[in-house]
C-alpha cells in the first residue's frame, strides 16, 4: 500500500506541465538521436547533460530518461527504412525490418515496433515498482562465472540465428571476437594488436563498425543496382499492423518482454545482447521461425520489445543498488550525481519524491513515445519517396558525420569505410553480418567475466560448475550441438543404403 501511495505521489509530480513538457522534449530528442546513425543513446544523453545542470533535478532526470528510452525506438527507424542501425541495440532489427521495407511493409514494421516498445517498456516499469528490491538483491548473486555462462549462451545463439551455414556464421563471429581483442589488455594494461597506432588503444569503435558494415555496405550495394524498395500506399491505416500481424506478433512481444526484463536486471548486459537473445528465442520457438530473415514480423516485434523492456528494467539495479547496468545507465548515473542525487537504497529514503516522480515519468514517457511515433509513421516512411541518388548522398553524409562525432577523430571515418568494404565482401560471399557485429559486443564482456572468475578461484575452472553458470553453459552447448545433429543425421541415412 505504501508503494502505491508513493507511486501516486510520483504521478502528481510527473504530470505537472513543466515535467510533461520536458518528457515530451526528451522523447522527441531521443527519437532523433536514435535516427541518426553513429550517435546513439550514450552519446546523445552525455552531450545533453551539461544543458540540464541548471534545471530542477526531477525535470532534468525526467528529460534525460526520456532521451534514453526514446532513442531505443528511434534507432528502429533507420534500421527498418535504410538498413542502417541508428544505435547498437537495433542491429538485430535490420535482419527482418529491412526485408519488410523491401516488401512495402515499412509502416507495419515501424508500427509493431512502437507497440512492442510500449508494451515492453510499460511492463518493465511496472516490474520496477512491484519487485525492485527483491529482484535487485537477486542481481547480487549473479557473479562473473554466471555472467560468463550467459555470454557462452549468447555466442551459441549467434549460430542458431545464422540460418544457412553454421561455418560461415562461426567465421563471422570469430572475426568479430578478434576485432574485440584490439586495444588495452584489461588485466596487465599493455597494448595488444594495436600495431603501434594510438588510435587503437581504446579498441576499434563499435559504432564505426556497425555504421560501416550495415550502412555503407548497403550504399555500395545500392549504388550498383536499382533499389527494389516498394512504394507505400493506402494512407496511415494501410501502414498500421492489421489483426493478423498483431496475432503473429503477440507471442514474440510476450517473449521479448520476459527476456528484456530479465536481462535488464543483470549489470553489464546491453540492449544489443538482449535483442540478440530475443531473436534467438524467436528462431527456436516461433511458429513462423522458418520465415525469419525474409521479413517476418516476429523478427521485429521480439527484439524491439526486448530492447525497450531491457532499457527500463536496467534502471532497477541503478535505483536499488546504485549499479549502472549499461553504458547509458552509467551516463544517467553521472547525471544523478551532478544533480546531488546518489542512486541506491538512500535514494528512496533521502529523495523519495524525486525517485517516484522519475519512475512515474517512465509510464508517461512510454505513452508519449507511442502517441508521438505511431502518427508519425507516415513522416518516417516518406523518406522512401526521396529520389534514390539523393537519398544515398544524404545517408552517406550521416554516416561520415556520425562516425566522426564518436570521438571527433577522422580515424573512425576510415574504420567505417574499411568495414563498409568488409560488409560488401561479406554480402557477396553470403556471410552473415550479425555474428561479427554482435560478437564484437560480447567479446570484451566474456573476456572480462572469464578473467574475473579465474582470479576469484585462483585459476580453478571448477568455479563454472556453480548452478546458474553451469546451467547457462549447458544450454549454450545444447543450442550449439542441435544444428550439428541435424546435419549429421541425413548424412548417416545416405550412407546406409549404399552399404
Q: Is the dihedral of CA 68, 72, 77, 82 positive or negative?
A: positive
Measured in Å, how far apart are the chain's first and last C-alpha atoms? 74
pLDDT tens digit string along 253-309?
Answer: 999 899 988 888 765 566 777 888 888 888 888 888 888 878 888 888 888 888 888
Rounded CA Rg of the chain:
22
Predicted local distance difference test score (pLDDT) of residue 234: 45
Q: Which three cell numbers stand for residue 193?
A: 594488436
Under the banding of pLDDT at 50, 70 and 90, the label for residue 329 is confident
User: What pLDDT, in 10s, does the model give residues 13-45?
Assistant: 888 888 899 889 888 888 777 766 555 666 667
> What local confidence, expressed as pLDDT, does residue 135 receive?
53
pLDDT at position 320, please? 74
CA 92, 294, 291 angle in degrees (round to 5)?
100
pLDDT reported for residue 478: 81
- From the list 153, 84, 90, the residue with the least C-alpha distance to 308 is 90
- State phi, psi for 70 to the nearest 5 degrees: -65, -35
Alpha-carbon span 313 to 294, nearest angstrom: 31
| The dihedral sign for the CA sequence 32, 34, 36, 41 | positive
Instruction: Look at residue 105 in the predicted model and tell me its pLDDT.
Output: 82
Residue 466 CB neighbours (<10 A): 16
Confidence of residue 127 (pLDDT cuts 50, 70, 90): confident
- Residue 377's pLDDT is 64
287, burial (CB in 10 Å: exposed 0-12, middle 13-18, buried 19+): exposed
At 382 the pLDDT is 63
Find where cell 521495407 sits. Answer: 101
Q: What's the pLDDT tens digit per position in 140-192?
A: 566 788 778 877 776 776 666 555 677 787 788 888 888 888 888 877 778 88
Pairwise CA distance, residues 37 & 43, whole Å: 11
* The residue to which cell 555466442 is assigned: 155
Residues written for the chain? 499
Judge whether residue 231 has pLDDT over 60.
Answer: no
User: How does residue 319 score in pLDDT terms, banded at 50, 70 and 90?
Assistant: confident
Nine cell digits for residue 116: 512492442
Q: How far is CA 170 from the centre of its chain?
A: 21
DSSP line for 310-333: HHHHTHHHHHHH----SHHHHHHH
Tens of pLDDT, residue by residue over 443-494, are: 777 888 888 888 888 888 888 888 878 888 888 788 777 655 554 444 443 4
pLDDT band at 233 (very low <50, low <70, confident <90, very high): very low
| CB-CB contact of 128 with 312 (8 Å) | yes
The pLDDT value recorded for residue 172 is 82
Q: Give residue 322's pLDDT band: very low, low, confident or very high (50, 70, 90).
A: low
Q: Which residue has the higher pLDDT, 376 or 429?
A: 429
Nearest-angstrom CA–CA distance, 28 and 368 = 9
* Confidence band for 332, pLDDT divided at 50, 70 and 90: confident
pLDDT digits (tens, 9 = 90+) for 384-429: 566 767 767 877 887 787 678 767 788 888 988 998 898 888 888 8
Q: What is the pLDDT of residue 493?
A: 39
Beta carbons within 10 angstroms of residue 15's beta carbon: 14
Q: Kindly write down the DSSP assignment for every residue of 159-209, as one continuous string.
A: HHTT-S-HHHHHHHHHHHHHHHT-EE-TTT--EES-TT-GGGTT---HHHH
What backbone phi and psi angles, to 5 degrees, belong to 266? -95, 110
Amino acid at each position: 500500500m505504501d508503494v502505491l501511495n508513493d507511486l501516486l505521489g510520483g504521478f502528481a509530480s510527473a504530470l505537472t506541465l513543466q515535467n510533461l513538457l520536458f518528457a515530451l522534449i526528451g522523447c522527441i530528442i531521443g527519437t532523433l538521436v536514435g535516427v541518426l546513425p553513429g550517435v546513439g543513446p550514450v552519446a546523445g544523453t552525455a552531450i545533453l547533460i551539461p544543458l540540464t545542470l541548471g534545471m530542477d533535478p526531477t525535470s532534468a532526470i525526467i528529460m534525460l530518461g526520456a532521451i534514453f528510452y526514446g532513442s531505443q525506438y528511434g534507432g528502429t527507424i533507420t534500421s527498418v527504412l535504410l538498413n542502417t542501425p541508428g544505435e547498437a541495440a537495433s542491429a538485430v532489427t535490420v535482419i527482418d525490418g529491412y526485408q519488410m521495407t523491401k516488401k512495402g511493409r515499412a509502416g507495419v514494421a515501424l508500427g509493431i515496433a512502437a507497440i512492442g516498445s510500449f508494451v515492453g517498456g510499460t511492463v518493465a516499469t511496472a516490474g520496477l515498482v512491484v519487485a525492485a528490491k527483491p529482484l535487485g538483491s537477486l542481481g547480487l548473486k549473479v557473479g562473473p562465472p554466471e555472467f560468463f555462462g550467459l555470454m557462452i549462451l549468447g555466442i551459441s545463439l549467434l549460430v542458431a540465428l545464422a540460418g544457412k551455414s553454421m561455418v560461415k556464421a562461426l567465421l563471422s563471429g570469430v572475426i568479430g571476437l578478434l576485432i574485440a581483442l584490439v586495444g588495452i589488455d584489461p588485466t596487465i594494461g599493455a597494448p595488444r594488436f594495436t600495431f603501434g597506432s594510438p588510435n587503437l588503444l581504446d579498441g576499434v569503435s563499435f559504432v564505426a563498425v556497425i555504421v560501416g558494415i550495415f550502412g555503407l555496405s548497403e550504399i555500395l550495394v545500392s549504388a550498383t543496382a536499382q533499389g527494389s524498395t516498394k512504394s507505400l500506399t493506402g494512407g496511415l491505416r494501410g501502414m498500421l499492423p492489421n489483426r493478423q500481424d498483431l496475432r503473429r506478433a503477440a507471442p514474440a512481444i510476450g517473449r521479448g518482454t520476459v527476456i528484456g526484463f530479465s536481462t535488464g536486471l543483470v549489470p553489464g548486459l546491453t540492449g544489443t545482447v538482449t535483442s540478440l537473445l530475443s531473436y534467438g528465442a524467436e528462431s527456436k520457438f516461433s511458429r513462423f521461425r522458418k520465415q525469419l530473415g525474409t521479413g517476418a514480423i516476429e523478427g521485429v516485434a521480439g527484439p524491439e520489445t526486448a530492447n525497450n523492456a531491457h532499457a527500463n528494467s536496467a534502471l532497477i539495479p541503478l535505483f536499488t543498488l546504485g549499479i549502472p547496468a549499461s553504458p547509458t545507465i552509467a551516463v544517467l548515473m553521472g547525471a544523478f550525481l551532478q544533480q546531488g542525487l546518489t542512486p541506491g537504497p538512500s535514494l528512496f529514503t533521502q529523495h523519495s519524491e524525486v525517485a517516484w516522480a522519475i519512475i512515474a515519468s517512465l509510464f508517461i514517457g512510454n505513452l508519449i513515445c507511442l502517441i508521438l511515433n505511431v502518427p508519425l509513421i507516415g513522416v518516417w516512411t516518406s523518406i522512401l519517396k526521396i529520389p534514390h541518388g539523393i537519398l544515398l548522398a544524404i545517408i552517406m553524409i550521416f554516416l561520415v558525420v556520425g562516425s566522426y562525432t564518436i570521438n571527433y577523430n577522422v580515424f573512425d571515418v576510415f574504420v567505417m569505410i574499411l568495414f563498409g568494404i568488409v560488409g560488401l565482401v561479406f554480402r557477396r560471399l553470403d556471410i552473415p553480418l550479425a555474428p561479427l557485429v554482435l560478437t564484437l559486443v560480447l567479446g570484451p564482456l566474456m573476456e572480462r567475466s572469464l578473467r574475473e572468475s579465474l582470479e576469484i578461484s585462483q585459476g580453478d575452472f571448477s568455479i563454472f560448475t556453480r548452478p546458474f553458470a553451469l546451467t547457462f553453459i549447458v544450454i549454450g552447448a545444447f543450442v550449439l550441438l542441435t544444428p550439428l545433429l541435424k546435419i549429421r543425421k541425413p548424412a548417416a541415412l545416405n550412407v546406409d543404403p549404399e552399404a
